[in-house]
């Protein structure tokens, strides 16, 4: 055991290296299963190690939650604040290629580097719970959980239209974004993408859409996040209406949420991919329709976007559908503004009350019928786009619906259509099956085999009991070839010996060669932290019962509709099959903002504006770095990094450190001075303010309070020992290293003893009696302007304060007994007076 350091100058390196070793060696931040203390599970999204080392932006997102976790520990909670590495995926593969190592080697090295960086900042982590998603002991359970989806019919192997980029291969919807020019590109490398059909594994998240919506009501997420998820799920209640095609036995079914406007329907549009296209196109229109469909299919999504939503196009099939309500013959067109993937792939055109339908009607001179009158009472024909009303009004020209409000009309006509056998109420969702396979090397192999007869078989069907260890994990075989064939055969497909296997009957079979997406390992990682070394189960049920749900979850806004929603889906499914103890994984969520480069641009190697925490820690120390990251602004906001801030924080830490020389145990007599009393008020204010600010995660203003207190202390010659010890505990979550140094010194501990660490001490309390001010000065406002002050005491009544105001010689020129119209005194806040002008 080492002796406590004692230096007269502030040397961050000596202090930090010294305590870091002792903390982690003795694992002082241990999270204890089944502890009798109340638990708090504080989680920050696990990092994805793909660059040289941890990014200062990551560090900002971890620092605030980590300060909070330290505070909770000092408040007597059994805290779990874990850390691990999400290391499968393309960036690691790219990193490996660039550095001429294997992804296995790259991952190992990055995990070590990242861990060192995280340790250097001094995060309070129980390293016994560290996980790595690429560890076979981990992904065995990712595969096992995947098989639960498979066994329950929620994982399917089917032809899917997928995004394809030559450089990234096949991508999920979530990995494709619109660039600034409005083109669809791969999020990863901005390469253009196109649509292709491919046999894919999908997870059927739409089956859980309703449960995921309902679950939102019980959890404490910001409205913004809830809305984004609701929007993403895109639940729409409407009706499928079936129309007969004139002179044909065919029928066309459309989905609409606005059946109330159906008396105004003047055409039908079907998607180019719709199976009816071939059946109902009349011979004289065949050539034109065929040409249109061919062009639409060849158009990449990029071109469709490029042409924008303004320019409608289409072709007439020559057929008509009969509106069962009024016998109107609606011409049927093909147009790419209708998507095969939403609703029924066919829409009914009501140009008077839908902007897109109106635009399309103009293209083919289709009649426009008004069936809704808005608030303005305008009943003139609809001739311009700006006259198209969508969601308010009263029905006209609509037979038995006339005069009804549109919402009442909607219900009435849906009842009618159902009674007449013309329609069926339907709910549709915009959320799609989650494409869950990749044609990449560096991921979890999907643990399924293809039997000779084409049927699929889970690598283990005896799962839970003894079988699991015999068959899982399906280990990722070693390979140095990470590229897919042009035909889509994944890299693993090239390893012929590995692909060849046998099924449970011993017959020859082939392994699945696609791997899982990066999202797989991170969909359940927070469960594994609870029981990271369990080899018999993904986690012990009783331990889950103790720790779950996560109390506070911190992460990036970019994960709102991806990771955050999809991992809720995993968890909710596990709950339904009895694997986990509660329906929702995360009780509370906050999204972190972004830290920009000093130039205000997003930190990126391209701009050369990346700030590395390692450099900051080297130059200014971890304590100053932590303060800078927490002080710079509120957690949820985005702002640029400013080098000056950390210099100021270094000075602040030094000021705190050097204060130790002013510490003295004051006698009762010395405590009986005005100076001591003032200092004591400041100290109690500090404790109270910091406590309430940490509770609401406003670390920036909490640090301001620490600065205010230090500015106050400068005025005195001595700092009382009792106050000093409380102060050290207040700063402990923010600047753990210097706090430990000061704590050990002030207590004269010569030997390190785990239980004596400041971080395991109780959070200081404050005395609200000391903060009650008996006498204070309040502003006096006259006709809305502050014109002076008066001194009041607690017991002053309105009448007393009024007397004081009237007696004030400065105020007399603004107010006298005779000019007062109205007098308001807000206790201990303000006096506000209306006077005659």
Residue ranges in 195-224 that form contacts with RNA under rule CB under 7 A = 223-224
**Least distance (Å) between residue 316 CB and RNA:** 17
**Least distance (Å) between residue 289 CB and RNA:** 17
Q: What is the DSSP string of 508-560?
A: EEEE---B--THHHHTTHHHHTTSTT-SSSSS-HHHHHHHPSBSEEEEEGGGT
Note whether 79 and 40 are within 8 A (CB): yes
Q: In whole angstroms, what is the distance from residue 718 CA to residue 675 CA? A: 10
The site string for RNA over 745-784 (x = CB under 7 A, - otherwise) reads --------------------------------xxx-x-xx
| 228 vs 686 by CB, closer to RNA | 228
- Residues 332-371, interacting with RNA (CB under 7 A): 336-340, 342-345, 347-348, 354, 356
Q: Which 8-state DSSP code applies to residue 824? A: E
Note whether 60 and 616 are within 8 A (CB): no
Among 13-21, 117-125, 460-468, 827-835, which window interacts with RNA (CB under 7 A)?
A: 827-835
The interaxial angle of helices 12-25 and 622-631, nearest 10 deg, is 90
- Residues 296-335, interacting with RNA (CB under 7 A): 304-305, 307, 309, 311-313
**Least distance (Å) between residue 242 CB and RNA:** 14
Q: In whole angstroms, what is the distance from residue 607 CA to residue 728 CA? A: 40
- Residues 781-800, interacting with RNA (CB under 7 A): 781, 783-787, 789
Compute CA 793 distance to the chain's CA centroid, rounded to the nearest angstrom: 50
Q: In which residue are the tokens 């159906």 written?
A: 262
Is 829 one of the binding residues for RNA (CB under 7 A)?
Answer: yes
- Residues 684-703, interacting with RNA (CB under 7 A): 698, 700-701, 703
3 state SS of 266: coil
Q: In whole angstroms, what is the distance from residue 820 CA to residue 444 CA? A: 80
Among 51-59, 163-171, 636-644, 792-800, which window interacts with RNA (CB under 7 A)?
A: 636-644
| 214 vs 830 by CB, closer to RNA | 830
Total binding residues toward RNA, as defined by CB under 7 A? 84
- Residues 225-244, interacting with RNA (CB under 7 A): 227-228, 231-232, 234, 236, 238
Is 533 one of the binding residues for RNA (CB under 7 A)?
Answer: no
Two structure tokens written together for 228:
């984004």
**Least distance (Å) between residue 700 CB and RNA:** 6
Is 172 one of the binding residues for RNA (CB under 7 A)?
Answer: no
Q: In whole angstroms, what is the distance from residue 437 CA to residue 149 CA? A: 14
- Residues 111-140, interacting with RNA (CB under 7 A): none
Give the count of beta carbons closer than 10 Å to the beta carbon of residue 213: 15
- Residues 640-659, interacting with RNA (CB under 7 A): 640, 642, 644-645, 647-648, 651, 655
Q: In which residue are the tokens 């995993």 written?
A: 570
| 224 vs 402 by CB, closer to RNA | 224
**Least distance (Å) between residue 34 CB and RNA:** 38
Is 257 one of the binding residues for RNA (CB under 7 A)?
Answer: yes
Note whether 344 and 240 are within 8 A (CB): yes
Beta bridge partners of 456: 450
| Secondary structure element (H or E) that encloses residue 570, with its range | helix 563-576
**Least distance (Å) between residue 784 CB and RNA:** 4
Near RNA by CB under 7 A: residue from 282, 711, 765, 819: 711
In degrees, to the nearest 5, what angle opens at C-alpha 171 toward C-alphas 168 and 173? Answer: 145
Is 604 one of the binding residues for RNA (CB under 7 A)?
Answer: no
Q: Which 8-state DSSP code applies to residue 755? A: G
Is 256 one of the binding residues for RNA (CB under 7 A)?
Answer: yes
The site string for RNA over 268-287 (x = CB under 7 A, - otherwise) reads ---x----------------
Q: How far is CA 88 from CA 556, 602, 782, in A?
A: 19, 25, 67
Is 822 one of the binding residues for RNA (CB under 7 A)?
Answer: yes
Near RNA by CB under 7 A: residue from 439, 560, 684, 757: 560
Is 561 one of the binding residues for RNA (CB under 7 A)?
Answer: yes
Is 633 one of the binding residues for RNA (CB under 7 A)?
Answer: yes
**Least distance (Å) between residue 232 CB and RNA:** 7
Q: Which 8-state DSSP code applies to residue 264? A: G
Q: In whole angstroms, what is the distance from residue 319 CA to residue 330 CA? A: 8
Give the count of beta carbons closer than 10 Å to the beta carbon of residue 633: 17
Is 253 one of the binding residues for RNA (CB under 7 A)?
Answer: no
């Amino acid at each position: 055991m080492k002796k406590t350091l004692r230096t007269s100058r502030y040397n961050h390196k000596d202090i930090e290296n010294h305590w870091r070793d002792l903390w982690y060696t003795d694992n002082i931040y241990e999270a204890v299963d089944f502890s009798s203390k109340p638990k708090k599970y504080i989680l920050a999204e696990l990092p994805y190690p793909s660059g040289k080392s941890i990014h200062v932006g990551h560090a900002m997102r971890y620092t605030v939650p980590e300060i909070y976790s330290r505070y909770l520990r000092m408040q007597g909670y059994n805290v779990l604040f874990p850390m691990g590495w999400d290391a499968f995926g393309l960036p690691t593969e790219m990193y490996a290629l660039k550095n001429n190592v294997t992804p296995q080697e790259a991952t190992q090295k990055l995990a070590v580097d990242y861990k060192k960086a995280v340790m250097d900042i001094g995060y309070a982590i129980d390293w016994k719970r560290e996980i790595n998603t690429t560890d076979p002991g981990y992904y065995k359970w990712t595969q096992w959980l995947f098989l639960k989806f498979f066994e329950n019919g929620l994982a399917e192997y089917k032809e899917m239209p997928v995004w394809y980029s030559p450089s990234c291969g096949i991508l999920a919807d979530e990995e494709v974004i619109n660039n600034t020019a409005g083109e669809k590109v791969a999020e990863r490398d901005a390469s253009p993408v196109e649509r292709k059909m491919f046999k894919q594994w999908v997870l059927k998240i739409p089956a859980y859409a309703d449960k995921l919506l309902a679950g939102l009501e019980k959890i404490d997420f910001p409205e913004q996040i809830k809305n984004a998820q609701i929007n993403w799920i895109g639940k729409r209640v409407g009706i499928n209406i079936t129309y007969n095609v004139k002179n044909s036995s065919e029928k066309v079914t459309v989905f609409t949420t606005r059946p109330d406007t159906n008396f105004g329907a003047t055409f039908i549009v079907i998607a180019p991919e719709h199976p009816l296209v071939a059946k109902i196109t009349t011979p004289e229109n065949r050539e034109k329709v065929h040409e249109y469909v061919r062009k639409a299919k060849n158009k990449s999504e990029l071109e469709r976007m490029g042409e924008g939503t303004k320019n409608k196009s289409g072709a007439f099939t020559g057929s008509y559908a009969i509106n069962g309500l009024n016998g109107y013959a609606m011409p049927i067109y093909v147009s790419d503004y209708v998507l095969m993937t939403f609703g029924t792939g066919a829409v009914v055109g009501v140009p008077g009350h839908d902007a897109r339908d109106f635009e399309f009607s103009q293209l083919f001179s289709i009649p426009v019928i008004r069936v809704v009158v808005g608030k303005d009472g305008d009943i003139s024909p609809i001739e311009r786009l700006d006259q198209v009303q969508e969601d308010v009004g009263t029905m006209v020209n609509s037979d038995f619906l006339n005069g009804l409000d549109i919402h009442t009309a909607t219900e009435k006509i849906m009842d009618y259509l159902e009674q007449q056998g013309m329609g069926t109420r339907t709910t549709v969702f915009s959320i799609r099956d989650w494409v869950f396979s990749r044609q990449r090397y560096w991921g979890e192999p999907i643990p399924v085999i293809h039997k000779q007869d084409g049927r699929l078989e889970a690598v283990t069907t005896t799962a839970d009991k003894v079988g699991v260890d015999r068959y899982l994990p399906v280990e990722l075989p070693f390979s140095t070839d990470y590229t897919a064939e042009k035909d889509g055969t994944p890299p693993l497909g090239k390893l012929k010996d590995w692909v060849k296997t046998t099924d449970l009957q011993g017959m020859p079979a082939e392994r699945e060669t696609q791997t899982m997406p990066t999202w797989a390992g991170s969909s359940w990682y927070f469960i594994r932290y609870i029981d990271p070394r369990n080899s018999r189960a993904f986690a012990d049920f009783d331990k889950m019962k103790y720790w779950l749900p996560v109390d506070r979850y911190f992460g990036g806004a970019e994960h709102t509709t991806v990771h955050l929603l999809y991992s809720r889906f995993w968890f909710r499914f596990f709950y339904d099959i009895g694997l986990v103890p509660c329906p929702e994984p995360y009780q509370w969520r906050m999204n972190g903002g972004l830290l920009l480069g000093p130039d205000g641009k997003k930190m990126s190697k391209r701009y050369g504006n990346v700030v590395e925490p390692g450099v900051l820690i080297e130059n200014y120390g971890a304590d100053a770095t932590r303060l800078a990251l927490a002080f710079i602004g509120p957690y949820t906001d985005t702002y640029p990094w400013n080098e000056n801030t950390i210099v100021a924080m270094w000075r602040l830490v030094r000021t705190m450190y050097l204060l130790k020389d002013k510490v003295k145990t004051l006698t009762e007599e010395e405590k009986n001075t005005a100076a001591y009393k003032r200092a004591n008020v400041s100290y109690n204010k500090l404790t109270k303010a910091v406590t309430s600010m940490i509770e609401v995660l406003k670390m920036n203003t909490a640090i301001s309070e620490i600065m205010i207190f230090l500015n106050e202390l400068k005025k005195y010659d001595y700092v009382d020992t009792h106050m000093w010890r409380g102060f050290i505990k207040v700063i402990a979550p923010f600047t753990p290293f210097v706090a430990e140094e000061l704590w050990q010194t002030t207590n004269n501990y010569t030997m390190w003893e785990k239980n004596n660490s400041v971080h395991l001490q109780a959070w200081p309390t404050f005395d609200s009696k000391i903060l009650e001010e008996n006498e204070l000065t309040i502003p006096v406002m006259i006709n809305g302007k502050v014109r002076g002050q008066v001194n009041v005491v607690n017991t002053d009544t309105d009448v007393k304060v009024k007397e004081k105001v009237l007696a004030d010689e400065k105020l007399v020129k603004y107010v006298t007994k005779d000019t007062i119209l109205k007098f308001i005194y807000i206790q201990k806040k303000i006096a506000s007076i209306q006077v005659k002008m």
